[in-house]
Amino acid sequence: MITQPPPQPLRLVVDLNRCQSYGQCVYAAPTVFRFHGEESLEYDYAPGDGVRREVERAAAACPVQAITLSGATEPAPVACGGGR
């Protein structure tokens, strides 16, 4: 039997240098992306798994491909004691 690694939580980042405020992502996933002011895009980097489909649609719909989704299956790194 093949066991899939557990999916990592949904994560994304938008390259705002590339983003041209077309708003396709806002339309595709309105709970994740929104405009603040006329043109400034704001978004949630970790929106929770319930909106994965919408976010994937948003990333695919972005005309300048400014949205990057997580692809790692490894567990998130953690600090081992210490700290500043």
Partner 1 sequence: MTAAGAAGLRTGRVVVVGASLAGLRAAEALRDEGFTGELTLIGDEPHEPYDRPPLSKAVLSGRLDSDHIALPRVRDIGARWLLGTPATGLDVPGRRVELADGRSLGYDRLLIATGTRARRWPVQAGGGLEGVHVLRTREDAERLRGALAAGPRRVLVVGAGFTGGEVASSCRELGIPVTVTQRSAAPLAGALGGVLGRAAAEWYREVGVDLRLNTTVQALEGDACGRLRRAVLSDGTAMPVEVAVIATGAVANTEWLAGSGLAADHRGVVSEGDCRAVAGSGRPVEDVFVAGDVARWPHPLYPGQLLRLDHWDNAVAQARTAAYNLTRGPDERRDHQPLPAFWSQQFGRYLKSVGVPAVADRVVVTQGALDQRQFVAAYGLKGRLVGVVSVDSPRVLDGYAALIEARAPFPPRLGATDGPDRLEPVDAGFPGRAAGGPQEHDIRTPSALAPAQTAHR
Residues 65, 49: Cα–Cα separation, whole Å: 21
The entry of ligand SF4, partner 1, none near residue 25 (CB within 5 to 8 angstroms by kind) is ligand SF4
Residue among 72, 67, 78, 77 at smallest CA distance from 25? 67
Q: Looking up tokens 């996933």, which residue turns up?
A: 29
66 sits near ligand SF4 (criterion: CB under 6 A): yes
Q: Which is nearer to partner 1, 13 or 60 (CB)?
A: 13
52 sits near partner 1 (criterion: CB under 8 A): no
Residues 71, 22: Cα–Cα separation, whole Å: 25
40 sits near partner 1 (criterion: CB under 8 A): yes
Q: Which residues bind partner 1 (CB under 8 A)?
A: 8, 11-13, 15-17, 19-21, 36-40, 42, 44-46, 68-74, 76-84
